[in-house]
Structure 1
Protein backbone atom coordinates (compact mmCIF):
# COMPACT_ATOMS: atom_id res chain seq x y z
CA UNK A 1 0.00 0.00 0.00
CA UNK A 2 1.29 3.48 -0.91
CA UNK A 3 -0.05 7.04 -1.09
CA UNK A 4 -1.22 8.67 -4.33
CA UNK A 5 -0.90 12.49 -4.56
CA UNK A 6 -3.28 14.77 -6.44
CA UNK A 7 -2.44 18.31 -5.36
CA UNK A 8 -1.06 20.65 -2.76
CA UNK A 9 -3.21 23.33 -1.19
CA UNK A 10 -3.22 25.80 1.68
CA UNK A 11 -4.05 24.23 5.03
CA UNK A 12 -7.06 26.51 5.55
CA UNK A 13 -8.46 26.01 2.03
CA UNK A 14 -12.19 25.14 2.21
CA UNK A 15 -12.04 21.76 0.50
CA UNK A 16 -14.94 19.39 1.04
CA UNK A 17 -13.60 15.89 0.47
CA UNK A 18 -16.68 14.00 1.63
CA UNK A 19 -17.63 11.37 -0.94
CA UNK A 20 -14.84 12.56 -3.27
CA UNK A 21 -12.94 9.63 -4.80
CA UNK A 22 -9.87 9.28 -6.97
CA UNK A 23 -7.84 6.43 -8.48
CA UNK A 24 -9.09 2.92 -7.75
CA UNK A 25 -12.28 4.56 -6.43
CA UNK A 26 -10.58 5.34 -3.14
CA UNK A 27 -11.61 8.25 -0.91
CA UNK A 28 -9.49 11.40 -0.89
CA UNK A 29 -8.19 12.88 2.34
CA UNK A 30 -5.89 15.70 3.42
CA UNK A 31 -2.49 15.53 5.10
CA UNK A 32 -1.49 18.82 6.75
CA UNK A 33 1.81 20.13 8.07
CA UNK A 34 2.03 23.75 9.07
CA UNK A 35 0.36 26.02 6.53
CA UNK A 36 0.17 23.56 3.62
CA UNK A 37 -1.61 20.33 2.87
CA UNK A 38 -1.41 17.47 0.39
CA UNK A 39 -4.59 15.94 -1.00
CA UNK A 40 -4.06 12.20 -1.34
CA UNK A 41 -5.65 8.77 -1.38
CA UNK A 42 -4.46 5.28 -0.61
CA UNK A 43 -3.05 3.32 -3.55
CA UNK A 44 -3.04 -0.46 -3.65
CA UNK A 45 -0.69 -1.22 -6.55
CA UNK A 46 2.98 -2.03 -6.10
CA UNK A 47 3.76 -0.50 -9.49
CA UNK A 48 2.03 2.42 -11.18
CA UNK A 49 -0.90 1.48 -13.40
CA UNK A 50 -1.70 3.51 -16.52
CA UNK A 51 -5.37 2.57 -16.42
CA UNK A 52 -7.52 4.97 -18.42
CA UNK A 53 -10.15 4.92 -15.69
CA UNK A 54 -7.61 5.95 -13.06
CA UNK A 55 -6.17 8.72 -15.23
CA UNK A 56 -9.68 10.05 -15.74
CA UNK A 57 -10.41 9.77 -12.00
CA UNK A 58 -7.23 11.72 -11.23
CA UNK A 59 -8.19 14.52 -13.62
CA UNK A 60 -11.79 14.54 -12.43
CA UNK A 61 -10.71 14.84 -8.80
CA UNK A 62 -8.43 17.75 -9.65
CA UNK A 63 -11.26 19.56 -11.47
CA UNK A 64 -13.53 19.20 -8.45
CA UNK A 65 -10.77 20.30 -6.07
CA UNK A 66 -9.90 23.42 -8.08
CA UNK A 67 -13.58 24.37 -8.21
CA UNK A 68 -13.55 24.54 -4.41
CA UNK A 69 -10.24 26.34 -3.77
CA UNK A 70 -6.81 26.99 -5.26
CA UNK A 71 -4.57 23.96 -5.76
CA UNK A 72 -1.13 23.23 -7.11
CA UNK A 73 -2.01 20.26 -9.36
CA UNK A 74 0.31 17.27 -9.66
CA UNK A 75 0.84 15.08 -12.69
CA UNK A 76 -0.69 11.63 -12.70
CA UNK A 77 1.49 8.98 -11.10
CA UNK A 78 3.16 10.68 -8.15
CA UNK A 79 3.16 8.25 -5.22
CA UNK A 80 4.97 8.10 -1.89
CA UNK A 81 5.57 5.06 0.26
CA UNK A 82 3.75 6.22 3.40
CA UNK A 83 1.93 9.05 5.15
CA UNK A 84 5.12 9.85 7.04
CA UNK A 85 6.83 10.44 3.69
CA UNK A 86 4.03 12.82 2.69
CA UNK A 87 4.48 14.70 5.96
CA UNK A 88 8.24 14.88 5.37
CA UNK A 89 7.74 16.40 1.91
CA UNK A 90 5.30 18.96 3.30
CA UNK A 91 7.63 19.90 6.14
CA UNK A 92 10.70 20.21 3.90
CA UNK A 93 8.86 22.26 1.28
CA UNK A 94 6.42 24.28 3.38
CA UNK A 95 7.93 27.67 2.58
CA UNK A 96 8.15 27.02 -1.17
CA UNK A 97 4.67 25.52 -1.38
CA UNK A 98 3.07 28.31 0.65
CA UNK A 99 4.69 30.96 -1.55
CA UNK A 100 3.57 29.24 -4.75
CA UNK A 101 0.04 28.65 -3.48
CA UNK A 102 -0.29 32.28 -2.48
CA UNK A 103 0.91 33.30 -5.95
CA UNK A 104 -1.87 31.34 -7.66
CA UNK A 105 -4.49 32.04 -4.97
CA UNK A 106 -7.97 32.38 -6.53
CA UNK A 107 -6.51 32.04 -10.03
CA UNK A 108 -7.30 29.53 -12.77
CA UNK A 109 -5.75 28.65 -16.09
CA UNK A 110 -7.43 29.40 -19.42
CA UNK A 111 -6.20 28.43 -22.89
CA UNK A 112 -7.08 30.59 -25.88
CA UNK A 113 -6.21 30.05 -29.56
CA UNK A 114 -6.31 32.45 -32.51
CA UNK A 115 -6.38 30.95 -36.00
CA UNK A 116 -6.95 32.03 -39.59
CA UNK A 117 -10.43 31.35 -40.94
CA UNK A 118 -9.95 31.76 -44.69
CA UNK A 119 -10.53 29.33 -47.59
CA UNK A 120 -6.95 29.58 -48.85
CA UNK A 121 -4.12 31.06 -46.81
CA UNK A 122 -1.90 31.92 -49.80
CA UNK A 123 -4.74 33.68 -51.62
CA UNK A 124 -5.51 35.58 -48.41
CA UNK A 125 -1.91 36.80 -48.13
CA UNK A 126 -1.71 37.64 -51.84
CA UNK A 127 -4.64 40.04 -51.41
CA UNK A 128 -2.54 41.94 -48.87
CA UNK A 129 0.91 41.33 -50.34
CA UNK A 130 0.72 41.20 -54.17
CA UNK A 131 4.43 40.29 -54.40
CA UNK A 132 3.41 36.78 -53.33
CA UNK A 133 1.65 36.12 -56.64
CA UNK A 134 4.75 34.49 -58.09
CA UNK A 135 4.59 31.89 -55.32
CA UNK A 136 1.77 30.21 -57.23
CA UNK A 137 3.85 30.18 -60.36
CA UNK A 138 6.79 28.24 -58.96
CA UNK A 139 7.07 24.73 -60.30
CA UNK A 140 8.68 21.55 -59.14
CA UNK A 141 9.19 18.83 -61.74
CA UNK A 142 6.69 20.57 -63.95
CA UNK A 143 4.01 20.94 -61.26
CA UNK A 144 2.90 24.01 -59.37
CA UNK A 145 4.61 23.90 -56.01
CA UNK A 146 1.69 25.33 -54.04
CA UNK A 147 -0.75 22.76 -55.33
CA UNK A 148 1.33 19.89 -54.04
CA UNK A 149 -0.32 20.68 -50.72
CA UNK A 150 1.15 19.43 -47.45
CA UNK A 151 3.63 17.16 -49.21
CA UNK A 152 5.67 20.11 -50.47
CA UNK A 153 7.13 23.13 -48.78
CA UNK A 154 5.58 26.41 -49.85
CA UNK A 155 7.84 29.13 -51.19
CA UNK A 156 10.25 31.01 -48.97
CA UNK A 157 8.45 34.33 -49.48
CA UNK A 158 5.20 32.79 -48.31
CA UNK A 159 6.85 31.29 -45.23
CA UNK A 160 8.51 34.56 -44.22
CA UNK A 161 5.39 36.63 -44.86
CA UNK A 162 3.15 34.25 -42.94
CA UNK A 163 5.53 34.30 -39.97
CA UNK A 164 5.53 38.11 -40.02
CA UNK A 165 1.73 38.22 -40.19
CA UNK A 166 1.42 35.84 -37.26
CA UNK A 167 3.76 37.97 -35.15
CA UNK A 168 1.70 41.08 -35.88
CA UNK A 169 -1.63 39.49 -35.00
CA UNK A 170 -0.17 37.63 -32.03
CA UNK A 171 0.99 40.95 -30.57
CA UNK A 172 -2.36 42.64 -31.21
CA UNK A 173 -4.31 39.79 -29.67
CA UNK A 174 -2.04 39.73 -26.62
CA UNK A 175 -2.66 43.46 -26.13
CA UNK A 176 -6.39 42.72 -25.91
CA UNK A 177 -6.39 39.74 -23.53
CA UNK A 178 -3.15 40.32 -21.64
CA UNK A 179 -4.39 43.12 -19.34
CA UNK A 180 -6.96 40.73 -17.83
CA UNK A 181 -4.37 38.05 -17.03
CA UNK A 182 -2.22 37.81 -13.94
CA UNK A 183 0.27 36.01 -16.20
CA UNK A 184 0.19 35.08 -19.88
CA UNK A 185 2.50 32.67 -21.69
CA UNK A 186 2.70 31.54 -25.27
CA UNK A 187 2.16 27.80 -25.59
CA UNK A 188 4.99 25.90 -27.25
CA UNK A 189 2.82 23.02 -28.39
CA UNK A 190 2.96 22.44 -32.17
CA UNK A 191 0.66 24.69 -34.21
CA UNK A 192 -0.96 24.06 -37.57
CA UNK A 193 -0.30 26.42 -40.45
CA UNK A 194 -3.66 28.10 -39.82
CA UNK A 195 -3.01 28.64 -36.11
CA UNK A 196 -1.63 32.05 -35.17
CA UNK A 197 -0.97 31.50 -31.48
CA UNK A 198 -2.15 29.67 -28.38
CA UNK A 199 -1.83 31.47 -25.05
CA UNK A 200 -1.97 29.93 -21.59
CA UNK A 201 -3.49 32.53 -19.29
CA UNK A 202 -3.49 32.70 -15.51
CA UNK A 203 -6.67 34.58 -14.65
CA UNK A 204 -8.16 35.77 -11.36
CA UNK A 205 -11.52 34.11 -10.85
CA UNK A 206 -13.07 37.56 -10.42
CA UNK A 207 -11.83 38.56 -13.89
CA UNK A 208 -13.05 35.54 -15.83
CA UNK A 209 -16.05 37.34 -17.30
CA UNK A 210 -14.07 40.33 -18.53
CA UNK A 211 -11.32 38.01 -19.79
CA UNK A 212 -13.87 36.06 -21.85
CA UNK A 213 -15.36 39.34 -23.10
CA UNK A 214 -11.92 40.38 -24.37
CA UNK A 215 -11.88 37.24 -26.54
CA UNK A 216 -15.29 38.07 -28.01
CA UNK A 217 -14.09 41.64 -28.59
CA UNK A 218 -11.11 40.23 -30.46
CA UNK A 219 -13.48 38.13 -32.54
CA UNK A 220 -15.39 41.28 -33.52
CA UNK A 221 -12.22 43.22 -34.24
CA UNK A 222 -10.58 40.59 -36.44
CA UNK A 223 -13.70 39.21 -38.16
CA UNK A 224 -14.16 37.61 -40.62
CA UNK A 225 -10.61 36.37 -41.22
CA UNK A 226 -9.96 34.82 -37.80
CA UNK A 227 -11.67 32.59 -35.27
CA UNK A 228 -10.97 32.22 -31.57
CA UNK A 229 -11.49 29.33 -29.18
CA UNK A 230 -10.86 29.00 -25.49
CA UNK A 231 -10.86 26.22 -22.92
CA UNK A 232 -10.91 26.11 -19.13
CA UNK A 233 -10.98 26.97 -16.37
CA UNK A 234 -8.38 24.49 -15.19
CA UNK A 235 -5.99 24.24 -12.29
CA UNK A 236 -2.87 26.25 -13.26
CA UNK A 237 -0.76 23.36 -14.50
CA UNK A 238 1.37 25.49 -16.82
CA UNK A 239 2.08 28.11 -14.17
CA UNK A 240 3.31 25.86 -11.37
CA UNK A 241 6.77 24.33 -11.45
CA UNK A 242 6.92 20.93 -9.80
CA UNK A 243 10.69 20.92 -10.17
CA UNK A 244 10.98 23.25 -7.19
CA UNK A 245 9.57 20.58 -4.83
CA UNK A 246 12.11 18.27 -3.23
CA UNK A 247 11.12 14.66 -2.50
CA UNK A 248 14.42 13.67 -0.89
Structure 2
Protein backbone atom coordinates (compact mmCIF):
# COMPACT_ATOMS: atom_id res chain seq x y z
CA UNK A 1 0.00 0.00 0.00
CA UNK A 2 1.44 3.36 -1.05
CA UNK A 3 0.80 6.43 1.04
CA UNK A 4 1.62 10.00 0.14
CA UNK A 5 2.45 11.57 3.49
CA UNK A 6 1.19 15.05 2.58
CA UNK A 7 -2.17 13.66 1.39
CA UNK A 8 -2.78 10.79 3.75
CA UNK A 9 -2.06 9.91 7.33
CA UNK A 10 -2.34 6.71 9.37
CA UNK A 11 -5.37 6.03 11.59
CA UNK A 12 -4.69 3.82 14.66
CA UNK A 13 -7.20 1.43 16.24
CA UNK A 14 -5.26 -0.73 18.68
CA UNK A 15 -1.97 -2.26 19.73
CA UNK A 16 -1.59 -6.03 19.92
CA UNK A 17 1.06 -8.72 20.16
CA UNK A 18 2.66 -9.35 16.80
CA UNK A 19 2.00 -13.08 17.12
CA UNK A 20 -1.72 -12.51 17.82
CA UNK A 21 -3.94 -14.37 15.33
CA UNK A 22 -5.84 -11.38 13.94
CA UNK A 23 -7.70 -11.91 10.69
CA UNK A 24 -8.03 -8.54 8.95
CA UNK A 25 -9.23 -9.87 5.61
CA UNK A 26 -12.33 -8.02 4.39
CA UNK A 27 -12.35 -5.91 7.57
CA UNK A 28 -12.63 -2.18 6.92
CA UNK A 29 -12.32 0.80 9.22
CA UNK A 30 -12.88 4.55 8.93
CA UNK A 31 -13.66 5.82 5.44
CA UNK A 32 -14.23 2.18 4.46
CA UNK A 33 -10.48 1.63 4.15
CA UNK A 34 -8.79 -1.76 4.58
CA UNK A 35 -6.93 -2.51 7.79
CA UNK A 36 -3.36 -3.71 8.03
CA UNK A 37 -0.74 -4.26 10.73
CA UNK A 38 2.52 -2.44 11.32
CA UNK A 39 4.93 -4.61 13.31
CA UNK A 40 8.12 -3.82 15.19
CA UNK A 41 9.56 -6.57 17.35
CA UNK A 42 6.87 -8.24 19.45
CA UNK A 43 4.24 -5.51 19.11
CA UNK A 44 1.96 -4.49 16.25
CA UNK A 45 -0.36 -1.57 15.57
CA UNK A 46 -3.62 -2.16 13.71
CA UNK A 47 -4.08 0.76 11.34
CA UNK A 48 -5.61 2.01 8.10
CA UNK A 49 -4.94 4.88 5.78
CA UNK A 50 -6.78 8.15 6.48
CA UNK A 51 -7.42 10.67 3.74
CA UNK A 52 -8.67 13.75 5.61
CA UNK A 53 -6.49 16.74 6.39
CA UNK A 54 -8.62 17.46 9.48
CA UNK A 55 -10.12 14.78 11.71
CA UNK A 56 -13.89 14.50 11.29
CA UNK A 57 -16.45 13.13 13.74
CA UNK A 58 -18.58 11.32 11.19
CA UNK A 59 -21.01 8.89 12.80
CA UNK A 60 -20.20 6.12 10.32
CA UNK A 61 -16.48 6.42 11.05
CA UNK A 62 -16.97 6.35 14.82
CA UNK A 63 -19.13 3.24 14.46
CA UNK A 64 -16.51 1.63 12.17
CA UNK A 65 -13.79 2.36 14.74
CA UNK A 66 -15.82 0.68 17.50
CA UNK A 67 -16.75 -2.23 15.24
CA UNK A 68 -13.09 -2.87 14.41
CA UNK A 69 -12.14 -2.92 18.09
CA UNK A 70 -14.94 -5.34 18.96
CA UNK A 71 -13.82 -7.75 16.25
CA UNK A 72 -10.16 -7.43 17.19
CA UNK A 73 -10.79 -8.14 20.86
CA UNK A 74 -12.90 -11.18 19.94
CA UNK A 75 -9.84 -12.61 18.19
CA UNK A 76 -7.10 -11.72 20.67
CA UNK A 77 -5.97 -9.27 23.34
CA UNK A 78 -5.61 -5.61 22.38
CA UNK A 79 -4.92 -2.19 23.83
CA UNK A 80 -7.84 -0.18 22.39
CA UNK A 81 -7.19 3.40 21.32
CA UNK A 82 -9.62 6.30 21.41
CA UNK A 83 -11.16 7.46 18.15
CA UNK A 84 -9.08 10.00 16.30
CA UNK A 85 -5.47 9.01 16.92
CA UNK A 86 -3.54 9.55 13.68
CA UNK A 87 0.13 9.69 12.76
CA UNK A 88 1.68 11.28 9.72
CA UNK A 89 3.29 8.18 8.20
CA UNK A 90 4.09 4.50 8.54
CA UNK A 91 7.59 5.39 9.69
CA UNK A 92 6.05 7.39 12.55
CA UNK A 93 4.00 4.35 13.59
CA UNK A 94 7.14 2.21 13.54
CA UNK A 95 8.95 4.81 15.65
CA UNK A 96 6.19 4.75 18.28
CA UNK A 97 6.28 0.94 18.42
CA UNK A 98 10.06 0.93 18.77
CA UNK A 99 10.23 3.66 21.43
CA UNK A 100 7.42 2.15 23.53
CA UNK A 101 8.14 -1.54 22.99
CA UNK A 102 8.74 -2.37 26.67
CA UNK A 103 5.69 -0.50 28.00
CA UNK A 104 3.38 -1.89 25.31
CA UNK A 105 4.55 -5.44 25.96
CA UNK A 106 4.02 -5.04 29.70
CA UNK A 107 0.50 -3.70 29.17
CA UNK A 108 -0.43 -6.36 26.63
CA UNK A 109 0.75 -9.16 28.89
CA UNK A 110 -1.23 -7.67 31.78
CA UNK A 111 -4.51 -7.77 29.81
CA UNK A 112 -3.71 -11.00 27.97
CA UNK A 113 -6.88 -13.10 27.52
CA UNK A 114 -8.87 -10.65 29.61
CA UNK A 115 -11.95 -8.58 28.79
CA UNK A 116 -13.74 -5.73 30.51
CA UNK A 117 -17.18 -6.07 32.09
CA UNK A 118 -19.28 -3.33 33.68
CA UNK A 119 -21.59 -4.04 36.64
CA UNK A 120 -24.07 -1.54 38.10
CA UNK A 121 -26.06 -1.98 41.33
CA UNK A 122 -28.97 0.36 42.02
CA UNK A 123 -31.84 0.73 44.44
CA UNK A 124 -35.18 -0.49 43.10
CA UNK A 125 -37.65 1.04 45.56
CA UNK A 126 -40.57 3.47 45.06
CA UNK A 127 -39.06 6.06 47.42
CA UNK A 128 -35.56 6.11 48.86
CA UNK A 129 -36.49 8.13 51.94
CA UNK A 130 -39.34 5.77 52.84
CA UNK A 131 -37.03 2.82 52.25
CA UNK A 132 -34.38 4.21 54.58
CA UNK A 133 -36.93 5.16 57.26
CA UNK A 134 -37.77 1.47 57.65
CA UNK A 135 -34.15 0.80 58.63
CA UNK A 136 -33.36 4.14 60.26
CA UNK A 137 -36.46 5.47 62.07
CA UNK A 138 -34.66 8.71 63.06
CA UNK A 139 -35.14 9.86 59.46
CA UNK A 140 -38.91 10.01 60.02
CA UNK A 141 -38.43 13.42 61.64
CA UNK A 142 -37.08 14.74 58.33
CA UNK A 143 -40.26 13.67 56.56
CA UNK A 144 -42.42 15.44 59.13
CA UNK A 145 -40.74 18.84 59.03
CA UNK A 146 -43.01 21.77 58.18
CA UNK A 147 -42.08 24.88 56.24
CA UNK A 148 -44.57 27.76 55.89
CA UNK A 149 -47.42 25.51 56.91
CA UNK A 150 -46.60 22.76 54.41
CA UNK A 151 -44.83 19.46 54.88
CA UNK A 152 -41.27 19.90 53.67
CA UNK A 153 -41.21 16.42 52.14
CA UNK A 154 -44.01 17.31 49.75
CA UNK A 155 -42.16 20.32 48.38
CA UNK A 156 -40.31 18.04 46.01
CA UNK A 157 -36.94 16.49 46.87
CA UNK A 158 -35.90 19.04 49.50
CA UNK A 159 -36.40 16.62 52.39
CA UNK A 160 -34.34 13.99 50.59
CA UNK A 161 -31.42 16.39 50.28
CA UNK A 162 -31.18 17.05 54.03
CA UNK A 163 -27.88 16.26 55.71
CA UNK A 164 -29.21 13.27 57.64
CA UNK A 165 -30.65 11.65 54.53
CA UNK A 166 -27.53 12.32 52.45
CA UNK A 167 -25.21 10.96 55.14
CA UNK A 168 -27.35 7.88 55.75
CA UNK A 169 -27.70 7.12 52.05
CA UNK A 170 -23.93 7.40 51.58
CA UNK A 171 -23.44 5.00 54.50
CA UNK A 172 -25.87 2.50 52.97
CA UNK A 173 -24.17 2.66 49.61
CA UNK A 174 -20.76 2.00 51.16
CA UNK A 175 -22.13 -1.08 52.93
CA UNK A 176 -23.70 -2.57 49.81
CA UNK A 177 -20.78 -1.57 47.58
CA UNK A 178 -18.41 -3.49 49.87
CA UNK A 179 -20.70 -6.53 49.94
CA UNK A 180 -21.02 -6.59 46.15
CA UNK A 181 -17.26 -6.29 45.67
CA UNK A 182 -16.76 -9.21 48.06
CA UNK A 183 -19.06 -11.32 45.88
CA UNK A 184 -17.77 -10.49 42.41
CA UNK A 185 -14.21 -9.35 43.18
CA UNK A 186 -12.68 -12.84 43.57
CA UNK A 187 -13.53 -13.58 39.92
CA UNK A 188 -11.85 -10.42 38.62
CA UNK A 189 -8.20 -9.97 37.75
CA UNK A 190 -8.75 -6.29 38.60
CA UNK A 191 -11.80 -4.32 39.74
CA UNK A 192 -12.27 -0.55 39.83
CA UNK A 193 -15.10 1.71 40.87
CA UNK A 194 -16.31 3.88 38.01
CA UNK A 195 -16.03 7.61 38.65
CA UNK A 196 -18.63 8.56 36.07
CA UNK A 197 -21.62 10.57 37.36
CA UNK A 198 -24.51 8.43 38.55
CA UNK A 199 -28.06 8.91 39.75
CA UNK A 200 -29.18 9.00 43.38
CA UNK A 201 -30.52 5.44 43.03
CA UNK A 202 -27.22 4.05 41.74
CA UNK A 203 -25.20 2.34 44.47
CA UNK A 204 -22.04 1.66 42.48
CA UNK A 205 -20.71 0.83 39.03
CA UNK A 206 -17.69 -1.44 38.85
CA UNK A 207 -15.41 -1.87 35.85
CA UNK A 208 -14.07 -5.42 36.00
CA UNK A 209 -11.13 -6.97 34.18
CA UNK A 210 -12.03 -10.64 33.82
CA UNK A 211 -10.17 -13.63 32.41
CA UNK A 212 -12.11 -15.08 29.50
CA UNK A 213 -12.08 -18.48 31.21
CA UNK A 214 -13.85 -16.97 34.24
CA UNK A 215 -16.63 -15.13 32.45
CA UNK A 216 -19.32 -17.68 33.27
CA UNK A 217 -18.52 -17.90 36.97
CA UNK A 218 -18.23 -14.09 37.05
CA UNK A 219 -21.70 -13.73 35.53
CA UNK A 220 -23.03 -16.29 38.00
CA UNK A 221 -21.70 -14.19 40.88
CA UNK A 222 -23.84 -11.28 39.60
CA UNK A 223 -26.95 -13.48 39.52
CA UNK A 224 -26.10 -14.66 43.04
CA UNK A 225 -25.87 -11.04 44.14
CA UNK A 226 -29.25 -10.36 42.54
CA UNK A 227 -30.83 -13.14 44.58
CA UNK A 228 -29.11 -12.07 47.78
CA UNK A 229 -30.18 -8.42 47.55
CA UNK A 230 -33.64 -8.97 46.07
CA UNK A 231 -36.14 -7.29 45.99
CA UNK A 232 -34.72 -3.86 46.83
CA UNK A 233 -31.94 -3.77 44.24
CA UNK A 234 -31.45 -4.39 40.54
CA UNK A 235 -28.26 -5.24 38.70
CA UNK A 236 -27.13 -4.56 35.14
CA UNK A 237 -23.98 -5.74 33.46
CA UNK A 238 -22.50 -5.03 30.06
CA UNK A 239 -19.66 -6.44 28.01
CA UNK A 240 -17.42 -8.08 27.18
CA UNK A 241 -15.43 -5.16 25.83
CA UNK A 242 -11.82 -4.40 25.11
CA UNK A 243 -10.19 -3.28 28.40
CA UNK A 244 -10.58 0.45 27.81
CA UNK A 245 -10.60 1.37 31.51
CA UNK A 246 -7.62 -0.84 32.37
CA UNK A 247 -5.15 0.30 29.72
CA UNK A 248 -3.22 3.55 29.77
CA UNK A 249 -2.54 4.42 26.13
CA UNK A 250 -2.19 8.07 27.15
CA UNK A 251 1.16 7.13 28.70
CA UNK A 252 2.50 6.07 25.31
CA UNK A 253 4.95 8.60 23.92
CA UNK A 254 4.33 9.82 20.37
CA UNK A 255 7.36 12.11 20.22
- Compute the TM-score of the two structures, normalised by the length of structure 2: 0.95
- Give the total of aligned pairs: 248
Q: Paired residue for 1:139, among 132, 135, 146?
A: 146
Q: Please report how far the alpha carbon of residue 144 of structure 1 lies from its aligned counterpart in structure 2 after TM superposition.
A: 2.8
List aligned pairs for 1:188-207, cutoff 5 A.
188-207=195-214
Tell me if 1:33 matches 2:40.
Answer: yes
Q: Contact (CA 8 Å) 1:176, 1:218: kept in 2 or not?
A: yes
Distance 2:157 2:72 in 1: 43
Deviation >6 Å, runs of 4+: none
Query: Does the residue aligned with 1:149 lie in a helix, a strand or coil?
Result: coil
Distance 1:225 1:22 in 2: 44
Q: Contact (CA 8 Å) 1:145, 1:154: kept in 2 or not?
A: no
Q: Contact (CA 8 Å) 1:146, 1:154: kept in 2 or not?
A: no
Distance 1:97 1:141 in 2: 64
List aligned pairs for 1:50-89, cutoff 5 A.
50-89=57-96
Residue segments in structure 1 that go unaligned for 5+ positions in a row: none
List aligned pairs for 1:165-184, cutoff 5 A.
165-184=172-191
List aligned pairs for 1:219-234, cutoff 5 A.
219-234=226-241
Residues 101-150 of structure 1: CA deviation (Å, up to 9, x unaligned)? 00000000000000001111111100011111011112344433333334
2:131 aligned residue: 124
Q: Paired residue for 2:23, among 16, 19, 39?
A: 16
Residue segments in structure 2 that go unaligned for 5+ positions in a row: 1-7
2:3 aligned residue: none
Distance 1:142 1:202 in 2: 54
Query: Does the residue aligned with 2:77 lie in a helix, a strand or coil?
Result: coil
Q: Cα–Cα, structure 1 residues 15 and 124, in superposed 2: closer, same or farther, change >3 Å?
A: same
1:237 aligned residue: 244
Q: Contact (CA 8 Å) 2:17, 2:105: kept in 1 or not?
A: yes
1:218 aligned residue: 225
- Compute the TM-score of the two structures, normalised by the length of structure 1: 0.97
Q: Contact (CA 8 Å) 2:173, 2:203: kept in 1 or not?
A: yes
Residues 10-62 of structure 1: CA deviation (Å, up to 9, x unaligned)? 00000000001110011111000000000000000001001011011100110
Q: Please report how far the alpha carbon of residue 152 of structure 1 lies from its aligned counterpart in structure 2 after TM superposition.
A: 7.1
2:5 aligned residue: none
